[in-house]
Structure 1
Amino acid sequence: MFKKMYSCYNTKMGLFRFFASTILVLFLLSSCSFHSTDAFDPLDPNGNITIKWDVISWAPDGYVAVVTMYNFQQYRHIQAPGWSLGWTWAKKEVIWTMMGGQTTEQGDCSKYKGNIPHCCKKDPTVVDMLPGTPYNQQIANCCKGGVINSWGQDPANAVSSFQISVGAAGTTNKTVRVPKNFTLKAPGPGYTCGPAKIVKPTKFVSADGRRVTQAMMTWNVTCTYSQFLAQKTPTCCVSLSSFYNDTIVPCPTCTCGCQSNGTQRGSCVDVFINYFLLKLHCSPETPHLASVVSDHGKNNYVPLVQCTKHMCPIRIHWHVKLNYKEYWRVKITITNFNYRMNYTQWNLVVQHPNFDNLTTLFSFNYKSLTPYGSINDTAMLWGVKFYNDLLMQAGPSGNVQSELLFRKDASTFTFEKGWAFPHRIYFNGDNCVMPPPDAYPYLPNAGSRWEVSLITLVVTLIASMAVVLTYI
């Protein structure tokens, strides 16, 4: 009897181990599968950077090509210090000359006598030329210091190109081999590039539109962005408040990191003391701020942030400001806590169900994004040129503000259960951390109807427009 019981016990334990190991294997497989979807952006599902390599002519030992990068992302820029593009040659190719770009290293060209190639490395890295490059070294869409704007915000400047003369490469479509292992840094990690794929040769139309030519050969490379690969910690956070509740919901503590303890100094700067000491030309208590101001002639893009509980370079504050009879009003404030960055041509992407009823926007530009087809619940906002398109470094001028006026939709509008707050906010393409929903300012049980007369609305609108027109 005991043997039977022991045998039954062993059988049950064996089944338990089998199912447990099966579940563990399935979990590991599913965890691995997440990596392929990391780059998917639900608010820009088709966003990518496409690199097009057009062979435009043959040379005695290779070819001349124009390499063009198209930033098809709706709201994600490539910011300073710009992109760098790398690959591995399939054979023993060299780069004889370049226009509009240059490699970071020449490599070992000792076997060449007389005419020395521009680059002999097996795995070259190319960067854009700087503005002010001599005209005879430029081509169209080059020489912007590697900065490429997003397609949705500035399509005219969402392209970057360089020309390359390749030797030891083959001189026909059958002998040329496409490069491998493309990498794109913009300016840091975050992008993953697929393999080069040969496509139909690109057709070019002459300036007068009367002649069409085509490339000898064309291949494309597609690169997609993942915030998880770009940085280990978030870069922005969201705080909330409302007129109907005194509670201000801050960014969660340690959202983008925590202040260092006594043994690890230098993670942040105490803004108030050091800022006024610098203004008075005194020696700041914290040497890090002085080094940021002088910078010793070098650009440093590692964030140095103001000491806060959240430690984020950027904070977005969403304030439900007023409630009218037929409208409601929101104030958005973007604050820069980073001493090392002026954010040029910044943008904000906000998802909220009432954007289909947006009536007026002050001092920001607006573009509707419809990532799900006909549903208009996502907006891209950015600054007015020469007014607030530059978000200054941390300090008194390090913020921009705007107000949004929405028409109420009787079927959906409510201040209850956090409906008035956004579902999601991106800054410069990075998803910002929201407070937990249970912490949102709640609507009091009594006195929930806060309305402002139409006259007050009109006066406020006129005053706001006057302020904007004064600065434009």
Structure 2
Amino acid sequence: MGYNAMDSRWLHSPGWRLRWTWAEKEVIWSIIGARSTEQGDCSRFEGNIPHSCMKDPKVVDLPLGTPYNMQIANCCRGGLISSYVQDPATASSSFHSSVGASGNNNKTVRLPKNFTIRDPGLGYTCGPAKIVKSTRFRSASGRRTTQVLMTWNVTCTYSSFLARKTSACCVSLSSFYNKTIVNCPNCACGCQNSSCLKKDEPSSASIGSPSKSSFLQAIQCSSHMCPIRVHWHVERNLKKYWLVNVTITNFNYGMNYSDWNLVIQHPQFDNLALTFGSNYRSLTSPSGINDTAMLWGIKHYNDLLREAGPFGQVQSKLQFRKNSSTFTRQEGWTFPRRVYFNGDNCVMPTPDSWREGSSD
């Protein structure tokens, strides 16, 4: 079973792909809830043929709608794994396999190695398998418990630096009390070139099939060239409250973002009173400081951020209680310190850009 312990990162379509290298000559006799993409050379077997004889099998999840007799719990969602905060029930994925030629006791079984996972791109680095306490299973009647021969854990960590050479999003800022709009930094996610598409004039030939390379070619031309822009606008300043409007705009003609999320850091989240147009959860640090919040779309309302164009935008409003001892409109205090979209750190305007002023 695989668990996604990250608060804000999903494993999106086309889903996870798990690969490892067997220590000896192990084979996968059968598998439920997933499948190996290649069978490999099974010529040494007669009669019953294994599901996979690959030295380094690559296993993928089964799609939605898989027959029940081929399913187990937490399988068969096309490799999609949600973030733990948004949907704990779908933040794990499982499959069951029967392995042969692997030894018959915990002294002869050898741990697999070289684990990799992709979702669908680069970014994850997996450590070695480590033996942990053997997993125990309770029967359906609850009267009997069985224990597996051996259990091991593999931990994979994500790095945006490995995943891509450029940033995936940027942040722009504005307020009702200043005419200046601080746009995303120029070339925040790369600079304009002939492959970008003019606004509202996407070419189906340019977009092509939804592959990683086509996504890069389907970005709307802009000064920042980011697929996603997050705009933070201080909307109103009332006697007891102040309001912020957050707008997420998709500049990618070749991709929509289902189940999007934002993580925002601001010292006033401890005084957040209401949210409109999004779900909210505080991500309080271990030290007890409540300065970070996670926002995500409301199911069947705005949880889908569509591709660039007239519908490629979602909004959320935040209402903060005003703390007279800390609230100020000076030095950009009302703006966020950091913003993450789907787990990726967004490029922020430079600290002095608000004072200098800039417009696109």
TM-score, normalised with respect to structure 2: 0.94
Alignment of 1:42-57 (within 5 A): none
Shift of 1:226: 0.6
Q: How many Å separate the matches in 1 of 2:2 and 2:259?
A: 19
Question: What code does the residue aligned with 2:340 have?
Answer: Y
From 263, 272, 295, the equivalent of 1:358 is: 272
Shift of 1:96: 1.4
Q: Which residue of 2 aligns with 1:223?
A: 156
Alignment of 1:362-381 (within 5 A): 362-381=276-295
Question: Is contact 1:343–1:392 with CA below 8 Å preserved after alignment?
Answer: yes
Question: Is contact 1:417–1:442 with CA below 8 Å preserved after alignment?
Answer: no
Q: How many Å separate the matches in 1 of 2:352 and 2:273?
A: 29
Q: How many Å separate the matches in 1 of 2:176 and 2:141?
A: 59
Q: Which residue of 2 aligns with 1:300?
A: 211
From 261, 271, 289, the equivalent of 2:204 is: 289
Alignment of 1:234-313 (within 5 A): 234-260=167-193, 265-266=194-195, 268-272=196-200, 274=201, 288-290=203-205, 292=207, 295=208, 298-302=209-213, 303=215, 304-313=218-227
Shift of 1:209: 4.7
Please tell me the root mean square deviation across aligned C-alpha atoms, in Å.
1.6
**3-state secondary structure, aligned to 2:95:** strand
Question: What code does the residue aligned with 1:407 have?
Answer: R
Alignment of 1:160-239 (within 5 A): 160-207=93-140, 209-239=142-172
Residues 399 and 199 of structure 1: CA distance in aligned 2, closer, same or farther (over 3 Å): same
If you compute each CA radius of gyration, which structure gives the higher value, 1 or 2? 1
Deviation sequence 1:153-176 (CA, Å, 0-9, x none): 110000101111111111111111
Residues 135 and 252 of structure 1: CA distance in aligned 2, closer, same or farther (over 3 Å): same
Question: What code does the residue aligned with 2:88 have?
Answer: P
Alignment of 1:53-452 (within 5 A): 68-207=1-140, 209-260=142-193, 265-266=194-195, 268-272=196-200, 274=201, 288-290=203-205, 292=207, 295=208, 298-302=209-213, 303=215, 304-440=218-354
Q: How many Å separate the matches in 2 of 1:129 and 1:427?
A: 28
Q: How many Å separate the matches in 2 of 1:332 and 1:205?
A: 47
Identity of aligned residues (%): 64
Q: How many Å separate the matches in 2 of 1:383 and 1:165?
A: 40
Question: What code does the residue aligned with 1:300 have?
Answer: S
Q: How many Å separate the matches in 1 of 2:142 and 2:332?
A: 55
Shift of 1:442: 7.7
Residues 361 and 208 of structure 1: CA distance in aligned 2, closer, same or farther (over 3 Å): farther
Shift of 1:210: 4.8
Consecutive unaligned residues in structure 2, runs of 5 or more: none
Q: How many Å separate the matches in 1 of 2:30 and 2:71?
A: 12
Q: How many Å separate the matches in 2 of 1:203 and 1:242?
A: 57
Q: How many Å separate the matches in 1 of 2:241 and 2:253?
A: 38
**3-state secondary structure, aligned to 1:229:** helix
Q: How many Å separate the matches in 2 of 1:211 and 1:355?
A: 48
**3-state secondary structure, aligned to 1:228:** helix
Question: Is contact 1:334–1:399 with CA below 8 Å preserved after alignment?
Answer: yes
Deviation sequence 1:172-199 (CA, Å, 0-9, x none): 1111111011111111111111110111
Question: Is contact 1:269–1:289 with CA below 8 Å preserved after alignment?
Answer: no
**3-state secondary structure, aligned to 1:251:** coil
Question: What code does the residue aligned with 1:178 have?
Answer: L
Shift of 1:386: 0.5
Q: How many Å separate the matches in 2 of 1:316 and 1:204?
A: 46
Shift of 1:430: 0.4
Question: What code does the residue aligned with 2:261 have?
Answer: N
The runs of at least 4 consecutive aligned structure 1 residues that moved more than 6 Å come to none
Larger CA deviation: 411-420 vs 218-227: 411-420
User: Larger helix proportion, structure 1 or 2?
Assistant: 1
Shift of 1:149: 0.1
Residues 390 and 228 of structure 1: CA distance in aligned 2, closer, same or farther (over 3 Å): same
Q: How many Å separate the matches in 2 of 1:423 and 1:215?
A: 48
Q: How many Å separate the matches in 2 of 1:110 and 1:118?
A: 12
Consecutive unaligned residues in structure 1, runs of 5 or more: 1-67, 276-287, 444-472
Question: Is contact 1:248–1:441 with CA below 8 Å preserved after alignment?
Answer: no
Give aligned pairs, total: 354
Deviation sequence 1:69-89 (CA, Å, 0-9, x none): 000111111011111011110
Question: What code does the residue aligned with 1:399 have?
Answer: Q
Q: How many Å separate the matches in 2 of 1:415 and 1:213?
A: 63
Q: How many Å separate the matches in 2 of 1:214 and 1:111?
A: 32
Deviation sequence 1:260-286 (CA, Å, 0-9, x none): 2xxxx32x11122x25xxxxxxxxxxx
Shift of 1:114: 2.6
